[in-house]
Amino acid sequence: MKNRQKSGLHAVKVEKVPTGIQGLDSITSGGLPRGRTTLVTGNPGTGKTMFGLEFLVRGAELFKEPGVFVSFEENVEEMVANGASLGFDLSKLCSDNLLFMDFVRVERSEIEETGEYDLEGLFIRLKYAIDSVGAKRVALDTIESLFAGLPNTAILRAELRRLFRWLKDRGMTTIITGERGKDSLTREGLEEYVSDCVILLDHRVTEEVSTRRLRIVKYRGSEHGTNEYPFLIGDNGFIVLPITSIGLAYSVGKERISSGIPRLDAMLSGLGYYKGSLVLITGTAGTGKSSMAATFVDAACRRGEKAAFFAFEESPDQIMRNMASIGVNLVRWKDSGLLEFFAERPTAFGLEHHLMKMIHIVEKINPSVVVIDPFSNLPDVGSFKEVRSMIQRLIDYLKGSGVTTLLTSLTSGKRDEEMTDVGISSLADTWLLLKTIEAGGERNRGMYILKSRGMAHSNQIREYVFTDNGIDILDVYVGPEGVLTGSVRLAQEAKERDREEALRKEIERLEINLEKRRSIMEAQLAQVGKEFEYEKNSLANEIDKKNIALKAIAQHKKEMAVSRKADEQGEG
């Protein structure tokens, strides 16, 4: 009968059975201990039954390991209905011989003890069930009900001990569920019998929002995550979030992406944000955080990249309308499918639900950039610590996936501006701080880069304005009292414009003068040339005349000699 021998004295690494429950296998580094019993405990309504059910269903569907579900609380019809709520077709699994369900009803009023007995009936049923589908997995839910039905706990305890031994000997990977007791893990101390693996489920309501948690209390012979992990029971079963296991191991690139505002890119050493980094934009109300975010998304879509916009404050339509007013047309990206909006009230779900939903969406659409606007609304849902841990997990996840994330956060004017509500600023790679600058009876918008890891960024406070063509970062005018903004800046600009104008006029005047001089000089030159020409001609005439006269004299001399018949050598 024994298909599994007890392991010897030497240490044997625990063999594991993947549960197929999303996330759980990475917390347990591989699943539950094979051929052993795992206790799943928790208060009523924490999802113990669902846990057991999914363990079997996934086993049957994903790993072709048939399972036996023995319920001590609900009948087969109710179990089928429970399964349907998670999208499991239990009837089909049963008819495919991948699942066997049995309902053990223990009704105290019907039962009378009349002497010695054992629970062999239960063993026979289990054996019958295991044999009829060739089961590898067993779930007993909730075996503690037996304590209510059978008065003789001494027998019951002995028999339970025998049962767990029996299941182990058969190599059944078993889940037993138990109700959490006041001071112990289970009401009846089942953890005494199960020493291999204990998982605790918790469901708590903090400020009217419920969150589910899972913790591995014990896992003999195996490493495991020790944190409390949020989990969700959704339409598709359990999802556990082992995000922290990603840790800080993600790789980073040197690639940069534009912020969508050329002059902001210039402030970020000319190239924009690092790809896969976390950009945090904080600011008081009305400083244009959403507009910055929208511009960033717009730029990504222009490059043909996918973007996911998680809106926790405004509806997508409202965002698109508002952004259209500053010339950022998001509608076309939404229509073309590059941009997807996910708008939700923060209080609509618990934190872990939000987190998992976001991760689910990111996995589904695989965006290059993600915007969460604003994440500072999330603390409505949970405590400071919870939100921070959630954001941390999300950021770890997004960074691990190479997604560039932009978070906006509202800071109240009263508090220190260089602080975020959930203290995640240390996680941010680039932090832009938007602030209103009050001067000269006006409020104007100013921004500066509080930090930007890994780049030589600008240290200036810059004023920016919304135009019909998006956000424009303006030139810096520094006055005696710091950066000039608004109409003071305009005045300063005007003053400078006037000065420029005056100089330009002066230059123009000088140029005209120069031109005049040149034309005078040229006219004079022409005149001199003309005079020279004239004199040159008259002098040439004179020279000609003289030459002719000279020739005439020579001719005369010759003629005289001829007439005197003088010899040619003798002269005179």
Which residues sit at the interface with other proteins, rule CB under 8 A? 102-106, 110-122, 124-125, 127-129, 146, 149-150
Report in angstroms the alpha-carbon separations of 257 from 149, 473, 542.
Answer: 66, 18, 87
Angle at 108 between CA 106 and CA 109, to 5 degrees: 125
Q: In whole angstroms, how close is the CB of 68 to other proteins at the nearest point?
A: 12
Strand partners, 41: 178, 200
Q: DSSP characters for 500-517?
A: HHHHHHHHHHHHHHHHHH
d(CA 288, CA 296): 12
Is the separation of the CB atoms in 239 and 245 below 8 Å?
A: no
Amino acid letter for position 249: A
Amino acid letter for position 510: L
Nearest to other proteins of 105, 204 (CB atom): 105
d(CA 373, CA 375): 6
Nearest to other proteins of 124, 476 (CB atom): 124
Q: In whole angstroms, how close is the CB of 162 to other proteins at the nearest point?
A: 13
Cβ contacts of 199 within 8 Å, gap of 6 or more: 38, 39, 40, 41, 51, 214, 215, 216, 217
Cβ contacts of 476 within 8 Å, gap of 6 or more: 460, 461, 462, 463, 483
User: 207: left (phi > 0), else alpha (psi -120 to 50), else beta?
Assistant: left
Q: In whole angstroms, how close is the CB of 144 to other proteins at the nearest point?
A: 14
Nearest to other proteins of 151, 529 (CB atom): 151
Q: In whole angstroms, how close is the CB of 79 to other proteins at the nearest point?
A: 15
Q: In whole angstroms, how close is the CB of 382 to other proteins at the nearest point?
A: 44
Q: In whole angstroms, how close is the CB of 113 to other proteins at the nearest point?
A: 5
What is the helix (H) or strand (E) element at residue 443, kind and residue range?
Answer: strand 442-452
Strand partners, 139: 69, 175
Q: In whole angstroms, how close is the CB of 235 to other proteins at the nearest point?
A: 32
Q: In whole angstroms, how close is the CB of 82 to other proteins at the nearest point?
A: 20
Nearest to other proteins of 146, 390 (CB atom): 146
Of the candidates 88, 79, 85, 91, which has an alpha carbon nearest to the alpha carbon of residue 139?
Answer: 79
Nearest to other proteins of 140, 432 (CB atom): 140
